[in-house]
């Protein structure tokens, strides 16, 4: 029986993020459209002879103790399935942290899926998603991937038609990492829900229709409909991000926006050539830039 498994776990961007309510549990009700992108961490899992959970990461800035989401995912599996033993988790980090790209959630999703496979637990995707939702709001999406509408805290998913070959320029300012907790708290404490400018019921439906329309005109339609409520909380505090978004919009792109709680800004490009031109125009020694395509899943064999 196999004792190790290597998985690739994809980052996500938000094509749409609307905050529709403050919840009594401190969370927010959301309507999001999430998209997996081809920017992946590699997560290697190996069965251990003991009950220990060991986490290591190529990025020394990531704490590998019990606070690590990958550790928490393994601990959750151990408590749900006492028959499984210890596991060594090695994360090769490519997805930037504090970026709004769900890198930590992607790692946790890979651990859930990997442990299910290593120990032949035979869980369905929906069972894995139920476990994932206990760990974090974005983790069920990171299990499923592709293109999805997410509601509730973000954990209630409805699949949307695959967005194949959407071309994106993804930009992360090296020195700006944003705490998701801070972004949502700022949104709430500044009373931004009460001043919600968009008529989102209609906007999110338009985005879903644009995705479903498919074909060559879909990226342009999607680009015009990009929306993220958290920009109103985050951008006033980070003028550098406003500058970056403006710089992207000055290029010949189909739309640009912050992903999740930031600090990643992304642009949709008409094709790969254009994407590389945009990337060159915005890349500096302080801004990491990737040209990536959309993915139709989120977890792959490495």
Element containing residue 282 per DSSP (H, E): helix 272-282
Which window, 136-144, 189-197, 200-208, 291-299, contacts ligand C5P (CB under 6 A)? 136-144
Q: Is 97 exposed, middle or buried (0-12, 13-18, 19+ CB in 10 A)?
A: middle
Residue (28 or 247) nearer to ligand C5P, CB? 28
- Tell me the window of 167-175, 180-188, 242-250, 294-302 that interacts with ligand C5P (CB under 6 A): 180-188
Binding residues for ATP: 96-106
Tell which phi-psi region holds residue 218, choosing left (phi > 0), alpha (psi between -120 and 50) or beta.
Answer: alpha
Interface region with ligand C5P, contact rule CB under 6 A, candidates 142-150, 177-185, 247-255, 286-294: 177-185
Interaction of residue 184 with ligand C5P, rule CB under 6 A? yes
Please report whether residue 66 would count as binding ligand C5P according to CB under 6 A: no
Q: CA angle, corner 174, sides to 172 and 176, nearest 5? A: 85
Pick the piece of the chain touching ligand C5P (CB under 6 A) from 178-186, 245-253, 264-272, 288-296: 178-186
28 near ligand C5P (CB under 6 A): yes
Judged by beta carbon, residue 166 or residue 184, the one nearer ligand C5P is 184
Nearer to ligand C5P, 116 or 138 (CB): 138
User: Is 181 one of the binding residues for ligand C5P (CB under 6 A)?
Assistant: yes
| Virtual torsion, Cα 141, 38, 221, 184, nearest 10 deg | 50
Q: Is the dihedral of CA 39, 210, 267, 171 positive or negative?
A: negative
- Taken in order 130, 6, 159, 33, the sign of the CA dihedral is positive
Binding-site member from 46, 47, 153, 293 for ligand C5P (CB under 6 A): 153
Size of the site for ligand C5P (CB under 6 A): 11
Catalytic site includes residue 12: yes
Q: Which is nearer to ligand C5P, 27 or 81 (CB)?
A: 27
CA separation for the pair 271, 53 (Å, rounded)? 43
Residue 243: active-site member: no
The closest of 193, 183, 188, 211 to 16, measured between CA atoms, is 211
Determine which one of 138, 172, 229, 247 is catalytic: 138
d(CA 105, CA 266): 19
Catalogue the active-site residues. 12, 138
Site residues for ligand C5P per CB under 6 A:
27-28, 30, 136-138, 153-154, 180-181, 184
């Amino acid at each position: 029986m196999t004792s190790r498994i290597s998985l690739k776990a994809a980052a996500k961007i938000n094509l749409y993020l609307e905050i529709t309510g403050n919840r009594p549990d401190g969370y927010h009700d959301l309507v999001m459209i999430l998209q997996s992108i081809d920017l992946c961490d590699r997560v290697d899992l190996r069965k251990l002879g003991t009950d220990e959970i060991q986490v290591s990461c190529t990025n020394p800035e990531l704490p590998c103790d019990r606070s690590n989401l990958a550790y928490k995912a393994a601990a959750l599996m151990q408590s749900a399935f006492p028959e499984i033993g210890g596991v060594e988790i090695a994360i090769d980090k490519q997805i930037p942290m504090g970026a709004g790209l769900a890198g930590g959630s992607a790692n946790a999703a890979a651990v859930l899926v990997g442990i299910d496979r290593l120990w032949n637990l035979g869980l369905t995707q929906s069972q894995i998603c139920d476990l994932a939702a206990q760990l974090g709001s974005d983790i069920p999406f990171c299990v499923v991937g592709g293109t999805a509408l997410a509601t509730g805290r973000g954990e209630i998913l409805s699949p949307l038609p695959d967005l194949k070959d959407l071309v994106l320029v993804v930009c992360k300012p090296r020195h700006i990492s944003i705490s998701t907790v801070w972004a949502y708290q700022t949104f709430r404490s500044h009373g931004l829900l009460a001043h919600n400018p968009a008529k989102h019921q209609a906007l999110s439906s338009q985005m879903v229709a644009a995705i479903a329309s498919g074909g060559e005109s879909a990226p342009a339609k999607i680009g015009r409909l990009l929306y993220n409520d958290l920009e109103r909380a985050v951008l006033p505090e980070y003028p550098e991000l406003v500058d970056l978004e403006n710089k992207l919009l000055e290029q010949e792109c189909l739309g640009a926006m912050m992903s999740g709680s930031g600090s990643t800004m992304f642009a949709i490009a008409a094709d790969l050539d254009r994407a590389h031109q945009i990337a060159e125009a915005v890349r500096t020694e302080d801004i990491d830039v990737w040209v990536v395509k959309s993915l139709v899943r989120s977890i792959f064999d490495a």
